[in-house]
With several copies, the nearest count.
Chain A
Amino acid sequence: MIRVLYFAALADQAGRHEEWLTPEPSDTAQQLYERLAQQRGLRLSRRQLRVAINEQFADWSDVLRAGDQVAFLPPMSGG
């Protein structure tokens, strides 16, 4: 199982702040996001987002493993 976190506009679109999923074998962050975007109706394109795995910024090509915490991050707007 992996834990998926949604923030800001993505959380609104997903209708939740987090969920637990079983990834496909050798799923990358990119593959996961594209599947979830379809299932949950996420309207932000991957190019607008960054991804973090286990509280570190990560690459979209990184492969997910059981126990990972994956976060999809919309364009930031702090300050």
Chain B
Amino acid sequence: MFRLTDQAIDITAAAAALSDPHSGGFVEFRGCVRNHHHGRSVEQLHYSAYPALAITEGERILEEARQRYAIDAVACIHRTGDLQIGDTAVWVGVGAAHRDAAFAACRYVIDEVKRRLPVWKHERYLDGETQWVGCQGCADHGHDPRYDRQQRVPGVGEAGQQRLRQAHVAVVGVGALGCPVADLLAGAGVGRLTLIDPDRVELSNLHRQSLYAEADVGALKVDAARRRLLERNSSTVIDARPQALAAGNDTAWLDDADLVVDCSDDPASKQWVTHRARVSGRPCIVGGVHQLAGGLFVSPRQAQDGVCWACISAQGSDCGDQGVLGPTPAVIGAAMAGEALRRLIGLDSALAGRWTVLDFGSGQFQRFVPKQRKTCRCHQEADGRSDAVQRDRLDPALHWIDLREATERRLRPLPGAQPLAFDEAMAGRGLEPDQRYLLICTSGRRSEAVCHTLREQGFGQVWTLTGGVRALPDESTPLACSA
């Protein structure tokens, strides 16, 4: 229940309305007119509002609180008109089974009300002057002492800070790697973060996922992370997307990001991100951990030198869902954040284009230049694009599987390829694990998804044509397959 009123707020009645035998904790906040503001003596105060919008926005804030916290009841009343010293300007009340949720929700509502409710405060001081109170001194304007220490690093300065402020980074996965990455990027003043993760916080996450507290168990990770990040740096804009980044999903919105940091434990996501970086020239950073070791891959400055995740993982980096000590991903995540900041600021990096492995088990710390196209079959076939036109030159025992719809096939025929519906292919129907297949679709997304699924099912010799038929040398020419 949200209300605007020009009468004194009846707190006793409002608090009584929250009562619920299910609730064990009630938190109330009252904002009152103080007798001072920035050192000046306040005599009187007037609140004006845009009522229609204020009521819509107030209700929206309460609804957000209900969605985000396990609470039984929440209410807020805001005054308008003339107020005297000591009068209550705003009241927020929350009831919940547990006090964690009650405190958090109450705090959320008052913070959002102050930030978003279209209400303006006009103060009259004892010396007769008056002033509209506003946030004129915010981070957009002038030097922010918060970033002093990092601006002193050679090559950063005001210009580097400005680049961070204007940057948009997509963080895929806010688990053990994503927590330090998002935390350090928000702390450093990166202007906009998009967090992508479908999971909810579990108790067994807490030892290694530093953005979450016990009170967050059960909440969506992207929501809990957003909340903590805003507490740490309220000037960050954070988009929370509770979904997976999979080849099949719509990911066009990712193109808005200047940099993608893949912190997921999903090889398909890593493959997609690295592939996209290589094709589009956008930078990416990808990490993984395994017990006491972890690694990070930073895409090279020149897109054509890029490798895909399949190249890297074919060289032995396995990020299984096994036991892990918290510090291992914390090290790798922090290193990924460091690379992200350097790339955004424009500093040199000795890790760009490298797969860097830090193994705290053996004490071996090494940088590799991942081998491109030679050992990665998936990549090799894809880069054999122009050769693929004469399939026999490439591999006569390779079966081409055409995953496109009939309408797509008519637009660009692929003679000699065997049509197979996407769903059938995902299920492995009509395919033999000991045969060799090149999967083809229009853009390469569907074929990539099928390729990874089949490999997980034990198909050892399937590859995808990266970029699909669109990436073939001349789209206007029907392919001549000599088989």
Q: Are chains A and B touching in the complex at the 8 Å CB cutoff?
A: yes
Q: State whether A74 touches B134 (Cβ < 8 A).
A: yes
For chain B, what secondary structure do more than half of its interface residues adopt (helix, strand, loop), or is it mixed? mixed
A8-B48, A48-B136 known; A77 vs B120 contact (CB < 8 Å): yes
The answer to whether B114 touches A78 (Cβ under 8 A) is yes
- Do B31 and A7 touch (CB < 8 A)? no
Say yes or no: is A24 at the interface (Cβ < 8 Å to chain B). Answer: no
Contact call B136/A52, Cβ cutoff below 8 A: no
Given contacts A8-B48, A9-B132, contact A76 B53 (CB under 8 A): no
Residues in chain A near residue B119, CB distance under 8 A: 76-79
Flag if B132 contacts A8 (CB, 8 Å). Answer: yes
Q: Are A76 and B132 in contact (CB under 8 A)?
A: no
Q: How far is the CA of A71 from the CA of B52 in the complex (A)?
A: 11
The reply to whether B53 and A55 contact each other, CB–CB distance below 8 Å, is yes
Nearest opposing residue in chain A for B130, CB measure: A12
Residues of chain A lying within 8 A (CB to CB) of residue B115 = 76
Interface residue tally of chain B, by bracket? 20 to 34
Task: Report which of A52, A74, A75, A79 forms a contact with B110, defined as CB distance below 8 A.
Answer: A79
* Contact of B404 with A by CB under 8 A: no
With A8-B122, A55-B56: A76-B48 Cβ-Cβ less than 8 Å: no
Asked if B113 is at the interface (CB within 8 A of a chain A CB), the reply is yes
Q: Is B22 an interface residue (CB 8 A)?
A: no
Best-surrounded residue of A56, A73, A76, A77 (most CB of chain B within 10 A): A76
Instruction: State whether A74 touches B113 (Cβ < 8 A).
Output: no
- Choose from A47, A55, A77, A78 the contact partner of B52 (Cβ within 8 Å): A55
Please, how many angstroms separate the alpha-carbon atoms of A57 and B60 in the complex? 12
With contacts defined as CB atoms under 8 Å apart, how many contacts are there between chain A and chain B in the complex? 78
Contact (Cβ within 8 A) B114 A5: no
Q: A48-B136, A73-B118 are in contact. Are A78 and B78 (CB under 8 A)?
A: yes
Chain B residues closer than 8 Å to A79, beta-carbon distance: 31, 78, 89-90, 110, 113-114, 117, 119
Question: What's the least CB distance linking B297 to chain A, in Å?
Answer: 34
The 8 Å CB contact of B133, one of A48, A71, A77, is: A77
Distance A14 CA – B365 CA, assembled complex (angstroms):
60
Contact with B along A1-19 (1 / 0, CB 8 A): 0000101110010000000
Rounded to whole angstroms, the CA-CA distance of A7 and B122 in the bound complex is 11
Closest B residue to A11 by beta carbon equals: B48
Q: How far is the CA of A38 from the CA of B49 in the complex (A)?
A: 25
B253 at the interface (CB under 8 A from A): no
Residues 51-93 (chain B) with a chain A CB within 8 angstroms: 52-53, 56-57, 78, 89-90
| A-contact bits for B376-401, CB 8 A (1 contact / 0 none) | 00000000000000000000000000
Which residues of chain A (1-52) have a CB below 8 Å from chain B?
A: 5, 7-9, 12, 47-48, 52
Report A60 CB to chain B, min CB distance, Å.
Answer: 14
Given contacts A56-B53, A56-B56, A79-B90, contact A74 B78 (CB under 8 A): no
Q: Hey, which chain B residues are within 8 Å of A7, CB to CB?
A: 48, 50, 118, 120
**B121 part of interface (Cβ distance < 8 Å):** yes
Q: Is B47 an interface residue (CB 8 A)?
A: yes
**A8 contacts which chain B residues (CB < 8 A)?**
48, 120, 122, 132, 134
Interface string of B120-162 (1 = CB under 8 A from A): 1110000000001111101010000000000000000000000
In the assembly, what is the distance between CA of A41 and CA of B26, in Å? 40
- Whether A76 and B136, one on each chain, are in contact in the complex, defined by CB atoms closer than 8 angstroms, is no
B78 to chain A, nearest CB (A): 6
Task: Mark B160-177 against chain A: 1 for CB-CB distance below 8 A, else 0.
Answer: 000000000000000000
Are A71 and B134 in contact (CB-based, < 8 A)?
Answer: no
Asked if B232 is at the interface of the complex by the 8 Å CB criterion, the answer is: no
Question: Can you give 16 contacting A-B residue pairs, CB < 8 Å?
Answer: A8-B48, A8-B132, A47-B140, A52-B53, A57-B57, A71-B53, A74-B120, A76-B118, A77-B119, A77-B120, A78-B78, A78-B113, A78-B119, A78-B121, A79-B31, A79-B89
List 19 other contacts, CB 8 Å, given A76-B118, A77-B119: A8-B120, A8-B122, A8-B132, A8-B134, A48-B134, A48-B140, A55-B56, A56-B53, A74-B132, A75-B136, A76-B114, A76-B115, A76-B119, A78-B78, A78-B90, A78-B119, A79-B31, A79-B113, A79-B119
